[in-house]
A and B are shown apart, each in its own frame.
Chain A
Amino acid sequence: DAGITQSPRYKITETGRQVTLMCHQTWSHSYMFWYRQDLGHGLRLIYYSAAADITDKGEVPDGYVVSRSKTENFPLTLESATRSQTSVYFCATGTFEQYFGPGTRLTVT
Chain B
Amino acid sequence: QKEVEQNSGPLSVPEGAIASLNCTYSDRGSQSFFWYRQYSGKSPELIMFIYSNGDKEDGRFTAQLNKASQYVSLLIRDSQPSDSATYLCAVIPGGFGNEKLTFGTGTRLTIIP
Q: A40-B105, A42-B88, A43-B88 are in contact. Are A48 and B44 (CB under 8 A)?
A: no
Judge whether B43 and A100 touch: CB under 8 Å: yes
Neighbour of B99 across the interface among A43, A96, A101, CB < 8 A: A96
Within 8 Å of chain A (Cβ to Cβ): is B46? yes
For window 61-109 of A, CB contacts with B under 8 Å fall at 90, 95-103
List, in ascending order, chain A residues with CB within 8 A of B99's CB.
Answer: 31, 48, 50, 95-96
Within 8 Å of chain B (Cβ to Cβ): is A16? no
User: How many inter-chain residue pairs (CB < 8 Å) link A and B?
Assistant: 43
Judge whether A43 and B103 touch: CB under 8 Å: yes
Judge whether B88 and A102 touch: CB under 8 Å: no
Q: How many residues of B contact A (CB 8 A)?
A: 18
Judge whether B44 and A43 touch: CB under 8 Å: yes
Judge whether A97 and B46 touch: CB under 8 Å: yes
- What's the Cα separation between A86 and B55 when bound, in Å? 39
List, in ascending order, chain B residues with CB within 8 A of A96's CB.
Answer: 32, 49, 92, 99
Q: How many residues of A contact B (CB 8 A)?
A: 21
Judge whether A42 and B104 touch: CB under 8 Å: yes
Nearest CB on A from B86, distance (A): 10
- What's the Cα separation between A71 and B44 when bound, in Å? 22
- What's the Cα separation between A99 and B90 when bound, in Å? 13
Judge whether B100 and A48 touch: CB under 8 Å: yes
List, in ascending order, chain B residues with CB within 8 A of A58's CB.
Answer: 100
Within 8 Å of chain B (Cβ to Cβ): is A45? yes
Neighbour of B43 across the interface among A31, A40, A50, A102, CB < 8 A: A102
Nearest CB on B from A89, distance (A): 11
- 17 pairs of residues in contact across A and B, judged by CB atoms under 8 Å: A31-B99, A33-B101, A41-B105, A42-B103, A43-B88, A44-B103, A45-B101, A58-B100, A95-B99, A96-B32, A96-B49, A96-B92, A98-B34, A99-B46, A100-B43, A100-B45, A103-B43
